[in-house]
A and B are shown apart, each in its own frame.
Chain A
Amino acid sequence: MGEEPPHLALNIPHREKQRHMQNSTPRLPHRLKTRRIERALAIFSILTVIIAWFVGSTIKEAAAETYLHNALPLATGFQEVAPGIYLATDKARQAIGYVGIGEGTGYGGPMRMAVAVDLDGEIVGVAMVDHKETPAYLERVFESTFLRDLLGKNYDQPFELGKDIDGVTSATYTSKAIADAVRRAVREIAREGLGHGVPHEPKPEIIFGLPEITLILLFAVGYLGRTRKIKKTRYVRWVTMLTGMIVLGFIFNRPLTISKINMFLMGYFPNWRTDLYWYLLLGGILFVFAADNRNPYCEWFCPFGAAQECMGAIGGAKPRFTRDQQRILDWVQRGLSWLAIVIALLMRNPGVTSYEIFGTLFQLRGSIVSFVVLGIVLIGSMISHRFWCRTLCPVRPIESLIRLVRGWILEIWRTQRRKQA
């Protein structure tokens, strides 16, 4: 929405940029008019997002009681013995076990599971009550043997991926959220229902590993690179791009997506101890933006951006769109991003409108449609510089919006200061 400074615009080589800009430099009145329209639309988009947030927040969560029977179909009656813990009885009104509701945090937000245990404390059934996950990822878990593997486990087991449970490849967040929810429910049942002395869960350990270290290093190099404090910027940038693509993309599959942004907008804040990465990523971007009006992520280490640039290097990609064409494409892109956010907020599901194809490239998973789009985007990237970023990426319009709002605030502040002077 804001005009991109000449040095930005996705790192177009300077000569190409000059040629690209030759089409026409808009006259001043035209630019002022455009700016007014952009600001009006920015206010409209922010207001609609706020309205969608309030409308979405009125959606009631599923009543957990409805799902007790799914976790323990043999039971005919349920009696609440403690908050979220139900004693299950059969037709003869004999106790046959307990069903508890546990909560975990998935990729898109909170998730609730109904867990049934028998009177010995072993899991005999699990059922999902509520979730905010991207449907495709959840399907992967349900198609695997992950739920089956939880059966027979006891409250004294750790329920940790890689220890006593195998996570589902490329649905790690969802698998972990289910395991956490089940562990909490089982331990609560053991404590409140079966009367075992199970200690309360300790705070989780702070996870600070390779992705977090890589992210901090990339931010530092990206920031220094943008401020031209390091020499041979071009080569350093390729190093950061390739590192981002390999580490944050292919190894950990953690590019910034619209569903992550939606998740924060909805107030589903993950535990900072276990999800420090996302706080570092979003906090880092916002900090550099606020301080310097620059976005090192997109240009220096966005994994998908790097993949496009690799394709561009092979095909000799150039900026192919004229200024006017790019302006039209920008508005289409903004409209798509706005729709994705508003619908997700209305439905209280961050991942439901996530249309990025990052997982398709980095995990080689996705529908046929995703693979077709990925193929088109990669071919497009060979011809046109950063084809996805310039036409479809839903994150770029958010960056433009932040830049516009920042510029507007600074303009008001400067005007006020001038008046005071």
Chain B
Amino acid sequence: MANTKKKTSLMTYLLMAMVAICIALLATQTLSDVREELQKQSSRERYAIAAEFEPGGMEISLKPTPTPTPGPPPPTPTYDITEGE
């Protein structure tokens, strides 16, 4: 009887340890996702991968492009990003 109780108890401890390991692993992974999302939200750098068409060589390349730094919204609906203009 005592042996059975001891076995049960050991099994329960083992299961508790398994739960603790799962929580630790899942929490680490989830917090990493949350941190990544927070960084993206703060810098507004979402998945800014753009497919760019290069008319000269008729070549298509897929490459990440830097997200322009967001500024205050322009007063008119015209968005001109030419340097010096």
Residues of chain A whose beta carbon lies under 8 Å from any beta carbon of chain B: 59, 62-63, 65-74, 76-80, 86, 91, 116, 118, 124-131, 135-136, 138, 142, 145, 147-148, 150-152, 320-322, 325, 329, 332, 336, 340, 343, 347, 349, 352-353, 355, 367, 369-370, 372-373, 376-377, 379-380, 383-384, 387, 391-392
Which of these, B14, B23, B52, B70, contacts A392 with CB under 8 Å? B23
- A332 contact from B23, B25, B36, Cβ within 8 A: B23
**B49 x A127 contact (CB < 8 A):** yes
Please tell me if the beta carbons of A380 and B37 are within 8 angstroms of each other in the complex: no
Contact partner of B47 (CB less than 8 A), chosen from A79, A131, A347, is A131
- Cβ contact within 8 Å between B60 and A148: yes
Residues of B11-41 contacting chain A, CB below 8 A: 11-12, 14-16, 18-19, 21-23, 25-30, 33-34, 36-38, 41
B52: contacting residue among A63, A67, A125, A142, CB under 8 A: A125
A77-B79, A127-B49 given as contacts; is B26 within 8 A of A66 (CB)?
Answer: no
CA distance A131 to B62 in the complex (A): 20
Q: Which residues of A contact B70 (CB under 8 A)?
A: 63, 66
14 further interface pairs, Cβ-Cβ under 8 Å (given A136-B33, A373-B25): A62-B46, A68-B79, A70-B67, A76-B82, A77-B80, A77-B81, A124-B53, A127-B49, A151-B53, A321-B12, A353-B33, A377-B22, A380-B15, A392-B22
B60 adjacent to A151 (CB under 8 Å):
yes
Shortest beta-carbon distance from A84 to chain B in Å:
11
Which of B19, B25, B68 is close to A391, meaning CB atoms less than 8 Å apart?
Answer: B19
Task: Give Cα A66–Cα B66 distance, bound, in whole angstroms.
Answer: 11
Contacts of B33 in A (CB 8 A): 135-136, 352-353
In the complex, the chain B residue whose C-beta lies closest to that of A352 is B37
Query: B41, A59: Cβ atoms under 8 Å?
Result: yes
A321 in contact with B15 given A62-B44, A148-B60 (CB within 8 Å): yes
Interchain Cβ contacts under 8 Å between A and B, 19 examples: A70-B48, A70-B67, A76-B81, A76-B82, A77-B80, A80-B78, A116-B53, A128-B48, A130-B46, A131-B47, A142-B49, A150-B51, A151-B53, A322-B12, A325-B16, A347-B34, A349-B37, A352-B30, A373-B25
- CB atoms of B62 and A355 under 8 A apart: no
Contacts A347-B37, A383-B15 known; A148 to B62 CB distance under 8 Å? yes
Q: Give, as a whole number of angstroms, the nearest-CB distance from A365 to chain B.
A: 14
Residue tally, chain B, CB below 8 Å to A:
46
Q: Is the beta-carbon distance between B29 and A367 smaller than 8 angstroms?
A: yes
The 4 tightest CB contacts between A and B, nearest first, are: A124-B53, A80-B77, A78-B79, A77-B80
A123 CA to B53 CA in the complex, in Å?
Answer: 9
Name the distance in Å between A304's Cβ and chain B's nearest Cβ. Answer: 14
On whether A373 and B22 interact (CB within 8 A), knowing A147-B51, A347-B38, A355-B29, the answer reads yes
CB-based contact A67/B48 at 8 Å: yes
Report whether B51 and A379 are in contact in the complex, using a CB–CB cutoff of 8 Å: no
Tell me how far the C-beta of B5 lies from the nearest C-beta in chain A, rounded to whole angstroms: 11
A135-B36, A148-B51, A353-B33 in contact; A376/B22 too (CB < 8 A)?
yes
Provide the residues of chain A in CB contact with B50, threshold 8 Å.
Answer: 70-73, 125-127
Is B73 interfacial (CB-CB < 8 Å)? Answer: yes
CA A127 to CA B46, docked complex, whole Å: 9
- Cα(A182)–Cα(B33), bound, Å: 27
- Contacting residues, chain B, for A135 (C-beta < 8 A): 33, 36-37
In the complex, residue of chain A having the shortest beta-carbon distance to the beta carbon of B26: A355
**In the complex, what residue of chain B is closest to A128 when comparing beta carbons?**
B47
